[in-house]
Amino acid sequence: MEKALWHTNCNFFELAALWHHPVDQLMRLVKSESVDEKFFQSDKAKIVIAPHHGSWEMLNLWLAENETLFSLYKPARSSAIDQYVLQKRSRNGAILAPSTTAGLRHLLRGLKQNHTVMILPDQRPADHTAQIEAQFFNYPAMTSLLIKKLLCKVEADVFIASMQRDFVDPGYHLHLQALDYNPLIQSDLESANYMNAAIENLVRQDISQYQWSYRRFPIQYYHALEHDRRHLDESKFN
């Protein structure tokens, strides 16, 4: 639990550096890159699934350094804060699209031009958006169908990625691997279950770096989930 709180706090305190330090200095903090060779070889559009694991802000910077990146984001209620966030997240070329109908159309145009799109798929989907209840760590969780909907409109290679923190040798380790295309375009439930299973596999690399505070599950499951999460964290050392 203590390690999970450390990482939760890091997500906030890191922003001062990630939004203001020179990008070339920040890239030197990436200590290792485990990247599927297909990522740089692909001549198709690319969708990068980026769960709330490790530093997704650092992942956004790395992707924008290496690709023409379109990134989906939730606009802030304050226009001043919204403009500030937009400026900082796009400072090395990322093209941010709001999670609105117009923003999704912008995202789709980027894919049709064979660019790269980063999507954080593991928040509770907004009302009236395509979603389905699927299993996540053996609990029912409302799961967005955005990835499947995009793949029904444009053929793309799909990857899952995380920029994991290292407190021993301060910096980050990038993990980016390809996912299978076919399961993602099957029935809504098959697609959602496959994506959730891929996120689980990534999270299990370091349970404490996942943002468990996101209210993804029905409230009645949180006590049992916390017990299971502690067990998963402890099992790494047994």
Predicted pLDDT of residue 220: 56
**pTM for the model:** 0.89
Alpha-carbon span 50 to 162, nearest angstrom: 6
Lateral strand order in the sheet of 156-166: 30-35, 171-178, 156-166, 45-49, 116-119, 69-73, 95-98
CA 235 to chain centre: 25
CA 83 to chain centre: 22
Residues in the chain: 238
Predicted pLDDT of residue 15: 86
Q: Average pLDDT for consecutive 10-residue bins of the chain (238 residues)? A: 67 85 96 96 96 94 97 88 92 92 93 96 83 90 94 97 93 97 97 97 92 67 59 50
**Amino acid letter for position 21:** H
Alpha-carbon span 8 to 70, nearest angstrom: 25
Predicted pLDDT of residue 221: 55
- Residue among 175, 176, 179, 123 nearest 148 (CA): 179
Predicted pLDDT of residue 237: 35
Predicted pLDDT of residue 238: 37
- Residue among 107, 125, 131, 132 nearest 117 (CA): 107
Q: How would you class 55 by CB atoms within 10 Å of its CB: exposed for 0-12, middle for 13-18, buried for 19 or more?
A: buried
